[in-house]
Amino acid sequence: MGIIDNISSFFRGGRQKNKAKSDPIMSVNDFGGSRTTLPKFAMNGMANSALPKRVMADLRLDERSLNRASIEQLIDILIDAHPDMSFALWNFIRLSNSGYTFFVFKPGKDEVDNKATGLLRDFIERLNQPSTERFSLSRSLDSVINQLIISTVIRGAASLELVLAKNKKDVAFIAPVDPATITFKFEKDRYIPYQFDGKISLDIPTFFYEALDNLIDNPYGRSPVLGAIQMIAFQMQLLNDIAAVVHNQGYPRFDITILEDAILQRMPPHIRNNEAERQKWLNQKLQEIVEMYESLDPDDAFVHYSSVNIDMAGGG
């Protein structure tokens, strides 16, 4: 079987038209073929914060959240929360993914194989077409390249699986894999990739992992943004501290004094001589006053008994 027949068989799905519902390509799930390429969030069945849409709580970084997050989680949050890091990634993607060209050459020759190049073009065009039977994520080559570029910058590596259809003869799509989910084990004098603590082996010829600037004795790549994490985290924490100081000292606040003697005069006699009940009653009255003032709108008037004095503090 020649090279043309091999490519024709491999990308045979590229020339198929009007696929039936029984098409084996359509029956492949979103994250894998012969092996799964499940993302991190799929373990609990929910997308959660893996989606680009974030609630404000996800972006409120303080010292506790910075210390609790893993490196991968911290990078994922900072590329959305920190303007410099977000803009740097945005620029890198636009400069890197500036289009592509492709040719297929005959084996051992500098001559372009037009038939094989056409088959490859058909395959790429098929990836660009959305499904007519169900919702499907974008499988276009441009989208895959974008994800691989992002992965290379923030993870220091790019990995993907060439997902085969159920019949193992057609290519369904190309599935990028988050390198953060990959763990290498040294077995039988070679590195073997695994996912989810060794539960899923990716020791298959259709899985590819390419590290960026990895060391000689380390298969993992090195992210170019990793060196900026400490400085960015320090900067954000410093800004949070400054905001807290300004909020605490820069704005006037109400200084509310509760006259304890006036409150004690209203205390029931059977509680006054019981220290535990006395403290409980005072705390209850204090909480009632706190809740009353916290529920006021900015334009509400202060109406209170003479047992409460209101003054202003700070902001001077």
Q: Please, which pLDDT band fits residue 135 given cuts at 50, 70 and 90?
A: confident
Answer left, alpha or beta for residue 314, where phi above 0 means left and psi between -120 and 50 means alpha. left
Give the position of tokens 């009255």.
285
| pLDDT tens for each residue of 173-205 | 898 999 988 999 999 899 999 988 888 889 999
For residue 227, give the amino acid letter.
Answer: G
- pTM attached to this predicted model: 0.65
Over 90: is that where the pLDDT of 9 sits?
no
Range name among 35-44, 122-131, 203-212 with the lowest pLDDT average: 35-44
What per-residue confidence (pLDDT) applies to 228? 84
Q: What is the 3-state secondary structure (H, E, C) of the chain?
A: CCHHHHHHHHCHHHHCCCCCCCCCCCCCCCCECCCECCCHHHHHCCCHHHCCCCCHHHHCCCHHHHHHCCHHHHHHHHHHHCHHHHHHHHHHHHHHCCCCCCCCECCCCCCECHHHHHHHHHHHHHHHCCCCCCCCCCCCHHHHHHHHHHHHHHHCEEEEEEEECCCCCCEEEEEEECHHHEEEEEECCEEEEEECCCCEECCCCCEEEEECCCCCCCCCCCCCCHHHHHHHHHHHHHHHHHHHHHHHHHCCEEEEEECHHHHHHCCCHHHHCCHHHHHHHHHHHHHHHHHHHHCCCCCCCCCCCCCEEEEEECCC
**Highest mean pLDDT of the ranges 11-20, 104-113, 126-135, 282-291:** 104-113
What per-residue confidence (pLDDT) applies to 199? 84
- What b/e sequence results for 256-281 when a residue is b if at least 16 CB atoms lie within 10 Å of its CB, and e otherwise? eebeeeebeeeeeeeeeeeeeeeeeb
Residue 57: beta bridge partners?
none
| pLDDT tens for each residue of 84-103 | 888 989 999 999 888 888 88
Measure the CA–CA gap between 311 and 253, rounded to whole angstroms: 9
What per-residue confidence (pLDDT) applies to 105? 93
Share of the chain above pLDDT 70, in %: 78
Over 50: is that where the pLDDT of 159 sits?
yes
Q: What is the torsion angle, in degrees rounded to the nearest 10, for the CA atoms of residue 13, residue 37, residue 51 and residue 127?
A: -10
